[in-house]
Structure 1
Amino acid sequence: MFANWGSLAYRRRWVVLIATVVLAVAGGVWGLGVFDKLSQGGYDAPSSESARANQVAQDAFGRQGGDVVVVYDTVDPAQLGRISEHLSGLPQDAVLQVQPPLPSAEAGKSLVAITLRGSDSNTHVKQYEQIADRLAVDGVTQQVGGLVPTQKAINDMSASDMAKAEAVSLPIVLILLVIIFGGLVAASLPVAVGGLSIMGSLGVLHAVSLGTEVNSFAVNVASLLGLGMAIDYGLFMVGRFREELAAGRSTEDAVKRTVLSAGRTVAFSATLLVIALSGLLLFPHGFLKSLSYGGMSAVAIAALVSLTLLPALLGILGHRVDKLSVPWRRDKVPSEQGWRKLAGRVMKRPVLFALPIVGVLVALGAPFLGVQFGEVSEKVLPEGNAARVAAETVNRDFAGLASGGMKVVLTGDPAQADVQAFIAEVGDVPGVGEVRIGAEPNNGVWLLNAGLEHDQLSDESKQALKDVRALAPPGSGEVLVGGSTAMVSDSLDAIKDKLPWMVLLLVGATFVLMFLAFGSVLLPIKAVVVSALSLSATFGVLVWVFQDGHGASLLGVTPAPLESGIVVLMAAMVFGLSTDYEVFLLSRMVEARGRGASTEEAVTAGLAKTGRVITAAALLLIVVTGAFAFSQITMMRFVGVGMILALALDATVVRMLLVPAVLKLLGDAAWWAPGPLRRIQERLAIHEDAPPVEEERVPARV
Structure 2
Amino acid sequence: MATSVPSRSDRKKRRGPWFTLLAGLLFLLISGAASAGVLDNLKSGGFDDPGSDSVHAASALERAFPDSQPNLVILVKDARDGVDSSRASAKADDIDRTIDNTSSARVVASYFETPDKALRSGDAGLILVRVDGDENESMRTADELHEKLSDPDGAVSVSFGGITAINNDMNKQVEKDIIAAESIAVPITLLLLVIVFRGLIAALLPMLLATLTIVGALAAVNVAAQFTSVSVFAVNLITALGLGLSVDYSLLIVTRYREERAAGRSNADALRVTRATAGRTVLVSGAVVAAALAALLVFDQYFLRSFALAGIAVVAWAVLGSLLLLPPALVLLGDRIDALALGRRRTAPRPAADTFWGRFGALAFRRPALLATPVVALLLVMAVPFGGAQFGVPDERVLPEDSESRLVTEAVRDDFGAGDDRALNVVSTDWKGTDAQLATYSAELSKTAEVTQVTGAAGVYEDGTKVTALPAQTAAGFQKDGAVRLLVETDLVPYSDEGGDLARDIRAVDPPGDSEVLVGGQAAQLVDITHSIAGKLPLALILIGLFSLLLLFLLTGSVLMPIKALLFNTLSLVGILGSAVWIFQDGHLSESLGFTPSPLAVSMPVLIFCIAFGLSMDYEVFLVARIKERFDRTGDLARSVREGLGGSGPVITAAAAILAVSFFAMLSSGVSLIKMYGLATGLAIVLDAFLVRGVLVPAFMRAVGPYNWWAPAPLKALHRRFGIRESAEEEPRTPAPRTEQTTTDVQREKTGLLP
1:375 partnered with 2:393: yes
* Residues in 1 aligned to 2:552 and 2:562: alpha-carbon distance in whole angstroms: 6
1:460-503: per-residue Cα shift (whole Å, max 9, x none)? 22111111000011221122100111112211110000000110
Give me the whole-angstrom Cα distance separating, in 2, the residues matched to 1:192 and 1:202: 16
Kept in 2: contact 1:282–1:498 (CA 8 A): yes
Distance 1:106 1:205, change over 3 A: closer
Report what 1:3 is aligned to. none
Q: Go from structure 1 to structure 2 and tell me whether the alpha carbon gap of 1:240 and 1:9 turns closer, same or farther (over 3 Å shift).
A: farther
In structure 1, the residue matched to 2:36 is: 32
For 2:370, the aligned partner's letter is L
Q: Which residue of 2 aligns with 1:590?
A: 628
- Describe the SS at the equivalent of 1:71: strand
Q: What is the correspondence of 1:451-530 to structure 2 with a 5 Å cutoff?
A: 451-530=489-568
Structure 1 match to 2:381:
363
Q: Select the residue among 82, 107, 112 that pairs with 2:127.
A: 112
Consecutive aligned runs of 4 or more in structure 1 exceeding 4 Å deviation: 8-11, 77-81, 102-106, 136-139, 693-699
Deviates more, 1:29-38 or 1:684-693: 684-693
> 1:131 is matched with which residue: 139, 145, 151?
145
User: Secondary structure at the residue paired with 1:652?
Assistant: helix
Q: Say if 2:262 and 2:347, in contact at 8 Å, map to a contact too.
A: no
Query: How many Å separate the matches in 1 of 2:181 and 2:230?
Result: 21
C-alpha distance in 2, partners of 1:396/1:583?
53
1:113 maps to a residue whose letter is L
Q: Which moved more, 1:218-227 or 1:338-347?
A: 338-347
The answer to whether the aligner puts 1:639 opposite 2:677 as a matched pair is: yes
Instruction: Report if aligned partners of 1:27, 1:200 keep a CA contact under 8 Å in 2.
Output: yes
Give CA-to-partner distance per residue, 1:359-392, whole Å, 9 cap, x none: 2111111111111111111101111111111111
1:392 to 410, 413, 424: 410
Query: How much has 1:400 moved relative to structure 2?
Result: 4.4
Shift of 1:557: 1.1
* Correspondence for 1:665: 703
Alpha-carbon deviation of 1:442?
2.6
Relative distance call for 1:655 and 1:520 in structure 2 (3 A) is: same
Q: Is the 8 A contact 1:214 1:286 kept in 2?
A: yes
Deviations 1:507-529 (A, max 9, x none): 11111111112100000000000
The aligned residue for residue 4 of structure 1 is none
How far is 1:79 from its partner? 5.6
- Per-residue CA deviation, residues 163-200 of structure 1 (Å, 9 max, x unaligned), is 12112211111111111111111111111111110010
Question: Which residue matches 1:87?
Answer: 95
1:9, CA displacement in angstroms? Answer: 9.4
Map 1:48-447 to 2 at 5 A.
48-62=52-66, 64-73=68-77, 74-76=82-84, 81-90=89-98, 91-101=101-111, 102-103=116-117, 104=119, 107-118=122-133, 120-136=134-150, 139-329=155-345, 331=347, 333=349, 336=352, 337=354, 338-410=356-428, 411-437=430-456, 439-447=477-485
Alignment deviations for residues 221-244 of structure 1 (CA, whole Å, 9 cap, x no partner): 111111111111111111111111
Task: State how far apart, in whole Å, the 2-side matches of 1:472 and 1:117 are.
Answer: 33
Change (3 A) 1:361 1:348: same
3-state SS of paired residue (2:110): coil
Structure 2 gap segments, 5+ residues each: 1-11, 457-474, 739-747
Structure 1 counterpart SS, 2:427: strand
Are residue 700 (structure 1) and residue 752 (structure 2) matched? yes
**For residues 402 and 329 of structure 1, do their structure 2 counterparts lie closer, same or farther at Cα, with a shift above 3 Å needed?**
farther
Q: Is there any run of 5+ residues in structure 1 with no aligned partner, and where?
A: 1-7
Deviations 1:607-647 (A, max 9, x none): 01001110111111111111111211101111111122111
In 2, the alpha carbon distance for the partners of 1:110 and 1:57 equals 25
Instruction: Determine helix, strand or coil for the equivalent of 1:447.
Output: strand
Query: SS of the residue aligned with 2:37?
Result: helix
Distance 1:136 1:342, change over 3 A: closer
Q: 2:401 is matched by which residue type in structure 1? A: E
Residue 87 of structure 1 contacts residue 98 of structure 1 at CA under 8 Å; is this kept in 2? no
CA distance in 1, matches of 2:489, 2:13: 66
Looking at structure 1, the residues matched to 627 and 663 of structure 2 have their Cα atoms a distance apart, in angstroms, of: 29
Secondary structure at the counterpart of residue 478 of structure 2: strand
For residues 620 and 665 of structure 2, the distance between their equivalents in structure 1, rounded to whole angstroms, comes to: 25
Q: CA–CA distance in 2 between the matches of 1:161 and 1:128?
A: 22
Change in 2 beyond 3 A, CA 1:175/1:9: farther
Using the TM superposition, name which of 257-266 and 106-115 deviates more.
106-115
Amino acid of the structure 2 residue aligned with 1:568: V
Q: For residues 436 and 179 of structure 1, do their structure 2 counterparts lie closer, same or farther at Cα, with a shift above 3 Å needed?
A: same
CA distance 1:583–1:83, shift in 2 (3 Å): same
Matched residue SS, 1:112: strand
Contact kept, 8 Å, 2:427 with 2:483, in 1: the verdict is: yes
Does the CA-based 8 Å contact 2:278-2:726 persist in structure 1? no
3-state SS, counterpart of residue 214 of structure 1: coil
1:538-592 deviation digits (Å, cap 9, x = unpaired): 1111110000111221111111011122221111111001100000000001101
**CA–CA distance in structure 2, aligned partners of residues 374 and 650 of structure 1:** 28
Give the letter for the 1:272 counterpart. V
SS, match of residue 32 in structure 1: coil
Alpha-carbon deviation of 1:311? 0.8
The amino acid of 2:730's aligned partner reads: P
Please point out which of 651, 660, 682 is paired with 1:613.
Answer: 651
Tell me the alpha carbon deviations over residues 183-222 of structure 1, each in whole angstroms, 9 at most, x when there is no partner: 1111111111111100100110111011011111111111
In 2, Cα distance between the equivalents of 1:247 and 1:419? 86
Q: Indicate which of 528, 535, 548 corresponds to 2:586.
A: 548
Query: Please, which moves more after superposition, 152-161 or 331-340?
Result: 331-340
Structure 2: distance between partners of 1:619 and 1:105: 54
Once residues 518 and 396 of structure 1 are traced to their aligned partners in structure 2, the CA distance between those partners, rounded to angstroms, is 60
Q: Is the 8 A contact 2:478 2:486 kept in 1?
A: no
Q: CA deviation at 1:309?
A: 1.1
> Do the aligned residues in 2 keep the contact of 1:222 with 1:298 (CA within 8 Å)?
yes
Which shifted more, 137-146 or 667-676? 137-146
The answer as to 2:532 corresponding to 1:532 is no
Shift of 1:434: 2.0
Equivalent position SS for 2:705: helix
| Counterpart-to-counterpart distance in 2, 1:44 and 1:9 | 54
Shift of 1:44: 0.6
Inter-CA distance 688–382: structure 2 relative to 1 (3 Å threshold): closer
Decide which moves more: 184-193 or 409-418: 409-418
Q: Distance in 1 between matches of 2:250 and 2:726?
A: 21
In structure 2, distance between residues paired with 1:654 and 1:670:
17
CA contact (8 A) 1:144 1:390 kept: yes
Q: Mean alpha-carbon deviation: is it higher for 160-169 or for 270-279?
A: 160-169
Does structure 1 retain, via aligned residues, the 8 Å contact 2:623–2:645?
A: yes
- Scaled by the length of structure 1, what TM-score is found? 0.95
Q: Is the 8 A contact 1:344 1:700 kept in 2?
A: no
Is the 1:522–1:672 contact (alpha carbons within 8 Å) kept by the matching residues of 2? yes
Q: Percent identity?
A: 35
